[in-house]
Amino acid sequence: MNQRSYLPGILAVLLLVAGGRAGETPHIFWASDSVLPGETVVLQGADFGTNTVVEFRPGTAAPNGAWTRAEILQRSADNLKAVLPADWPMGVFACRTVDLGNPVPSAVWRLNAPEGWWVQGDAGETASPGGWLRVCGRNLNFGGLSTARLVDESNREMSLEATNADGYALGFTLPLNLKPGAWRVEVHNGLPGTAPWRGGITVRPPPAWPTNVFSVVESLGRDAAREMRKTLVKYREVKDATAGIQAALGRAKENGGGIVFFPAGRYGITNGIRVPPRTILRGEGEGLVVLWWGRGRFNQDGGSNLGYERAPDAAGVPSSLVSGRDFTLENLSLYVPPDYQTVIDGQENVRVRQVRVRIDHYWTLHTQRHEGWVARLGNNCAVTDCDLQAKGGGISPGRHNYIARNRVTAGKTPCPLGGARQVIVEDNRFISTHPTAYQNIAGRGKNLYYARNTHEALNVHQADYSFTFDAGTAAYLGRIATVSGTNLTLAADPVFAPWAKENNSYWREAAVCVLDGRGAGQYREVTANHGRAWTIGRPFAVAPDQTSLVTIVPFNGRVLVVGNRFEDANWVNAGYGTSIEVVYAGNRLYRCAQLLNYGLETEGHVQPSWYVQYLDNELLEGQTGLDVTGSVRHRETYAGPVTRCVIGRRNTFAEDNSGGISVGGRTRDVLMEGSVLRHSENVIRAEGTAVGLVFRNNQFKAGPPRHEGKPGPDLIIVPATGAGGR
């Protein structure tokens, strides 16, 4: 079915009267925070009429305390931009909207209140006594004053002290004597006037694995370990040790697990290793043990062509070199052939630590971008303190994964996050070796904490090394026939991509997004679908009606990109396609093209970018811009906004960066506030069809303020001095 056939009248949505419904109780769907006194709060909702006012109250005020009416900078039927009082102390602020013709106010929204998105433990979905616990989300810490505690089913409490905290994640070390069971997690962010956020975690003791040691040289005699150490001499032939390795694995399997130990040496292998459950593959040291697949060799004469002569692997390359579930790989190196597909296939509950991976040097002789993975992970896995070389992809995460303190040199992508959920990626060094390498969140991804990583590109100005969301697909663009609680009936048939049919898990990880009309800006996650019948996790706050236009897309969002260093990138991007509730905070960009927000429409597909916030980032060296846009390529399909409610606060453009701020395309309701622009050519620009823009309190340090765009109802400019045209 042609999607255009069920879209008549979509253009008429944009011609509806912008005013709210007189006398209706207004609703708030989303509010921009964290926010400081004197800054602007952006509210997305419904039924904001010409008589609607915004009121604030400190969180420390009595429940019946007085409300303060705010200055409203800009209004529409579904969006208000109001200023917090500048003389209030920092804290949690209550916010509500009131229609002067209706005594019933909106529900109260609490700004700066702690909001946990997920809880993760050292075992992934669970935590262990003596292990660690992380809470990831927003507004979790202010000024290092956050507190947390655990409460068990008997209401017994245990205080926790954060070992690291950046406002978006809190880390805790759990006591060794912590009682197993279900625990409630409570986090207070340190601001006065707030209630704690509450979540939960299950504590379980780590499973008892057998500790029997099975040496791979056990059957080779008393001096076997000493003889094996001699193989570490370079240029010496690597002998086949497959039989000894398989024998040790077999003994571990019969034992129900154990430790397969590799004394120092280089071990030739001709087949894949299937690791038995509850087994540790342990080397004597990362630099002392090499497991060597293939027929690669060292070039013994740098003046000859021997290093370019490649002998093919006669027996072929196994699809997975090390695979299994419930195993650990530690303290050794893997030397893999050029044609590998997957080095480590960690299906579930797998730990990889202090492991080095190197590729037979012949792979560098090819010019095309290579495929293959160093590590593919399932649920509850971790890769830590490793040094990985990848001709294609580095680490492909699953769910409840922890990836930290690794060095990954990749030819394609070091750690893509498409399809990942509840994943922490922190303190890694990612290096691109190919001009077309990238790092992306493709199609779908949720609850991702990406922090303090360093991105480097060996090709410098020729690199296309990007951190980006990537366009996926969509199942529907059109109207809803009926809405009843969590049950929706679409007005037409959904249209699925050939690779993501109706029963694909994509659609149980999708969201119904109200693009335009009544209830615009709401999204609800899908729990079930069949034909035109779709079920969402919770009802809409304001039910869509005949004016509403919705799209159904795989959910990509709730991503925290914090404190990273990006070098020589093309896009550092919070949306090439769907991206919802994303925070970029405290990142530093060097010689990059754009810090970009890009909602996208392709023919029949609308992939919205909503509620993205850029906070306290620094842009250096070159001409890096902070650009917000929405691309609509087929106006006969859809002509409305695809990018909504983007916030930029306190971003700094360094003296050596001549880029600026640009807002354009099919975009609405953007706030750029409190940025510092230090180069004489920095400009803040409004262009195209973008509407609902506020540029406020931005400081130009070299010369007079430079704004491009015609001030009016859809472009409010307030210079840093407090005066400005409207």
Report the run of H or E that residue 604 belongs to, with start and end: none
Question: CB-based contacts of 191: which residues, under 8 Å, 6+ apart?
Answer: 59, 90, 91, 92, 112, 142, 145
Looking at residue 314, its amino acid is A
Domain assignment present for residue 555? The answer is no
Q: Which of 180, 203, 226 is the last residue of a domain?
A: 203
Strands 213-215 and 132-138: unpaired
Domain assignment present for residue 410? The answer is yes
CA angle centred on 334, ends 331 and 336, rounded to 5°: 175
pLDDT at residue 366, rounded to an integer: 64
State whether 169 and 258 are in the same domain. no
Q: Could you give the CA distance from residue 220 to residue 143 in angstroms, rounded to a whole number?
A: 61
Domain assignment present for residue 387? The answer is yes
Domain assignment present for residue 44? The answer is no
Q: Which of 721, 701, 718 is nearest to 40 (CA)?
A: 718
pLDDT at residue 637, rounded to an integer: 74
pLDDT at residue 3, rounded to an integer: 38
DSSP string, 325-366: SSEEEEEEEEEE-TT-SEEEEEEESEEEEEEEEEE-GGGGG-
State whether 243 and 168 are in the same domain. no
Q: Which of 287, 415, 323, 307 is nearest to 363 (CA)?
A: 307
State whether 131 and 250 are in the same domain. no
- 1 alpha carbon, distance to own chain's centre: 34
Q: Which of 275, 259, 254, 245 is nearest to 348 (CA)?
A: 275
DSSP secondary structure code for residue 25 in this structure:
P
State whether 140 and 230 are in the same domain. no
pLDDT at residue 726, rounded to an integer: 34
Instruction: Residue 165: count other Cβ atoms within 10 Å of its Cβ.
Output: 21
pLDDT at residue 552, rounded to an integer: 96
pLDDT at residue 14, rounded to an integer: 34
Question: CB-based contacts of 325: which residues, under 8 Å, 6+ apart?
Answer: 277, 346, 347, 348, 349, 350, 378
Tell the residue number behind the tokens 């879209």, with chain if given. Answer: 7
How many domains does the chain divide into? 2
Q: Could you give the CA distance from residue 611 to residue 2 in angstroms, rounded to a whole number?
A: 31
Q: Which of 668, 532, 665, 557 is nearest to 601 (CA)?
A: 665
State whether 393 and 415 are in the same domain. yes
Q: Which residues of the chain have pLDDT under 50?
A: 1-19, 722-726
Q: What is the chain's alpha carbon radius of gyration, rounded to the nearest angstrom?
A: 28
State whether 184 and 277 are in the same domain. no
State whether 226 and 153 are in the same domain. no
pLDDT at residue 17, rounded to an integer: 35
pLDDT at residue 723, rounded to an integer: 38
**Domain CATH for 184:** 2.70.50.70
State whether 149 and 288 are in the same domain. no
* Residues 381 and 348 sit within 8 Å (Cβ to Cβ): yes
What's the token pair of residue 249? Answer: 């694995």
DSSP string, 450-494: EES-EEEETTGGG--EEEEEE----SEEE-EEEEETTEEEESS--
Q: Distance of CA 303 to CAs 270, 307, 308, 683, Å?
A: 31, 10, 11, 55
List 672's β-bridge partners, or say none: 648, 695
State whether 232 and 288 are in the same domain. yes
State whether 362 and 329 are in the same domain. yes
- 431 alpha carbon, distance to own chain's centre: 19
Domain assignment present for residue 232? The answer is yes
**Domain CATH for 225:** 2.160.20.10
DSSP string, 260-292: EEE-SEEEEESS-EEPPTTEEEEES-TTTEEEE
pLDDT at residue 461, rounded to an integer: 73
pLDDT at residue 151, rounded to an integer: 95
DSSP string, 661-700: EEE-SSEEEEEEES-EE-STT--EEE-TT-EEEEEES-EE
Q: Which of 14, 81, 22, 13 is nearest to 47 (CA)?
A: 22
Q: Which of 203, 227, 258 is the last residue of a domain?
A: 203
Look up the pTM and report it: 0.94
Instruction: Residue 229: count other Cβ atoms within 10 Å of its Cβ.
Output: 15
Domain assignment present for residue 150? The answer is yes
pLDDT at residue 164, rounded to an integer: 80
Q: Three-state SS string across 510-533, please?
A: EEEEEEECCCCCCEEEEEEEECCE
State whether 176 and 227 are in the same domain. no
Range of the domain at 366: 213-299+316-434
pLDDT at residue 239, rounded to an integer: 86
Domain assignment present for residue 219? The answer is yes
Looking at residue 135, its amino acid is V
Domain assignment present for residue 170? The answer is yes
State whether 321 and 255 are in the same domain. yes
Q: Which of 152, 181, 203 is the last residue of a domain?
A: 203
Strands 279-283 and 258-262: parallel
